Chain A
Amino acid sequence: MTLLVIAEHDNTDLKSVTLNTVAAARKVGGEIHVLVAGSGCPGVAKAASRIDGVSCVKLADADHLKEQAAEDVAAVVLALAGEYSHIFAPASTFGKNFLPRVAALLDVAQISEIVAVETPDTFVRPIYAGNALATVKSADPVKVVSVRTTGFDAVACTGTAPVVAVEPPAASGKTCFVGRELTKSARPELGAAKVIVSGGRGLGSGENYHKVLDPLADRLGAAMGASRAAVDAGFVPNDYQVGQTGKIVAPQLYIAVGISGAIQHLAGMKDSKIIVAINKDPDAPIFQVADYGLVADLFEAVPALLNTLG
C-alpha cells in the first residue's frame, strides 16, 4: 500500500497544511510519497523531503504549473495515480479545487474533509455544518481523500527522502490565469495560528474592526478572523471568514468579539481549545460554546482587556 499526498505550496514555501495532511496519511499506514507540482519549486521539494514518514518526493516542475490550475494539477496526479492506493490533499481552497477532478476521472468517490482515519477504507467526516459526524466506508479501489487539517497534528520535519523528477502532461490550455490579489499581512496564517482574534457585526464598521481588534491581535501575536456578517458587510476581505464555508480553525485560543454565533460560524471554530466570547447580548448563542463568556460592550471591554494584559 502506497499513499500519495499532494503538497500545497506557492512555488517558494511549503504550506504547513501539508504536514497535517501527511499526519492523516500516516494514520492509514503504508509508504507515503509527496507530490510537488509547480514551477521553479525544487526548494519546496527539498522541504517536502524532510517531512517525517515520507519515503519519496515526486517533483513535477513545469512553466504551465506555475499557477497550479485545477485542470493541470489534476492531470499530473492522474498520470501518477496508478501506483497508489490512496490520494490525500488538504481540504483548503487548493485541495478542494482540483481533487474532485482526480476522483471523477478515476471514477471513484471522494471522501471530503476527514477528521479521523478508522481503517484504510473507513473515515470520519463532519456533515451538516459539523452538527453530525459520519463514519463512511469506501468500496472504491483508490481512496481519494481531502483532509480537514485541524483534525490532525502536524508531523515534524527531520527526514531525508529522495526527490524524483516526473514529467507532467501538457497544459490543458482552457484556463488562462489573469491575476491574484493576496491579502498582505505580517500576522500568522489563520489556519495555523495559535491564537485568533475574530470580529463580527457588533463592531459596526471596518474602521472599528481594525481600531478595536488590531491592538489586541498585535499584543497576542494572533491571526485575525471574522464572521460571515462582518465579511458580507465589507469590514474585512473574504479570506478572514471563519465558518462552515470559510476557514475551519482550531487554535489554542479563539476570542470572538461581537459575534453572535450562528451555527455556520460555530462550525468553523468550535474545535478551538479555549473559546472566549465578548458580546453585549447575554442570549447570544456564542456563549453556549464559550469557555469564558463576558457580557459587555466590546468597545469598553476590548481596550480594558488590552490594558489588563499589559
Chain B
Amino acid sequence: MKILVPVKRVIDYNVKARVKADGSGVDLTNVKMSMNPFDEIAVEEAARLKEAGIATEVIAVSCGVAACQETLRTAMAIGADRGILVETEVELQPLAVAKLLKALCDKEQPQLVICGKQAIDDDANQTGQMLAALAGWPQATFASKVAIADGKATVTREIDGGLETLALTLPTVVSTDLRLNEPRYATLPNIMKAKKKPLDTVTPAELGVDVAPRLTTLKVVEPAKRSAGIMVADVQQLVAKLKNEAKVI
C-alpha cells in the first residue's frame, strides 16, 4: 500500500507573523520557514505505518516554490521514500492544491493520503476534505488515532464534544490533529540519506491543473491591539476590579 503525504512550507510556528506596512500581506523575507507542524505529524504517521509493514512506500508531495524542496527533504529525513515537488510561483489556494493532489493520486494510486488538518499560515482547514471530495473518497478529519486493517481505516477523530470513531473503506483521506503522534527528530544520518532519495519535479501544467487563485486578497492588517491591562497586587483587588470596573461578576 502506498501512502501519499502532502507537506507545506510555512512560517515556523515559533515565529510571530508581521504584517507588511503596505497591507499587502505578511512579511516573509528572512523569516524562518519550516514544515507545517500538522504535516510533520502526517509524515510521522506514514513512516510508522511503513515501519509496521502496513505501507510499502511513502511519497511526500509539496506544492509551491522551488524552496519547498527543503520541506520534502525534511519529510524524507523523517521517513518518506521519495518526494514530488509541484513547482509554481503562483500563490496556491486550497482548491488548487486539492486538484494537484487529485492528479497525483490518479497517477500514483495511493490507498491512503495523510495530510495535516490545517496549515498554520492561512488556517484554512480545507485541502484534505477537498481532495477526498474530488477523488470521490471518504474522509476522516482531525485524527487522533489511525489503524489500518483488512482494507479499512479505523480512525478516531477529535470533535467538539469529545471523540468519534469511523471505519472507512480505502482509498481514503485522513487529516491529522495534534495528538495523533509526536514526530521524531530527524537524525543526522537520516538527513544525509534523505539527500540521496529521489525527488521529482512537475508543473501544474504537466498535471493539467489550472491553479489560478479564486480569492483575491484586498488587504491584510494587524488586528486591533488589546489596550494594556494592569497588574493587581492581590486577590482582593482583583475581585474589586472585576466587580466594580469590569462588571463581569
Interface set of A (CB-CB < 8 Å, partner B): 69-71, 74, 92-94, 96-105, 107-113, 122, 126-140, 172, 174-183, 191, 195, 220, 228, 231-232, 237-239, 244-245, 247, 252-253, 263-264, 270, 273-276, 287, 289-296, 301, 304-305, 307-309
Contacts and interface: CB of A to CB of B under 8 A. Distances in A.
Contacts of A104: 95, 98, 129-131, 133-134
B163 A181 contact: yes
Given A93-B159, A128-B123, A132-B220, A293 B230 contact: yes
B188 interface: no
A191 B117 CA distance: 20
A182 B130 contact: no
Interface string B144-167: 100000000010011111111111
B120 A128 contact: yes
Contacts of B133: 74, 100-102, 104-105
A237 B248 contact: no
Contacts of B93: 109
A97 B222 CA distance: 28
25 contacts: A70-B141, A103-B95, A103-B126, A107-B95, A109-B93, A109-B94, A110-B124, A129-B123, A131-B26, A133-B223, A136-B215, A139-B214, A181-B164, A191-B160, A195-B248, A195-B249, A237-B163, A238-B162, A245-B117, A264-B13, A291-B226, A292-B238, A293-B232, A294-B231, A309-B239
A202 B139 CA distance: 37
Contact of A103 (B130, B140, B239, B249): B130
A85 to B, nearest CB: 16
A276 B238 contact: yes
Interface string B201-245: 000000000000011111111110010011110111011011000
A276 B164 CA distance: 33
B162 A291 contact: no
Given A108-B95, A127-B122, A180-B165, A97 B141 contact: yes
A112 B118 CA distance: 11
A178 B163 CA distance: 11
Most chain B CB atoms below 10 A, which of A112, A134, A247:
A134
A238 B26 contact: no
B169 interface: yes
Given A101-B133, A113-B123, A133-B221, A292 B249 contact: no
B241 to A, nearest CB: 5
A254 to B, nearest CB: 10
Choose among A108, A253, A292 the residue with the greatest number of B CB atoms under 10 Å from its CB.
A292
Contacts of B166: 69, 175-178
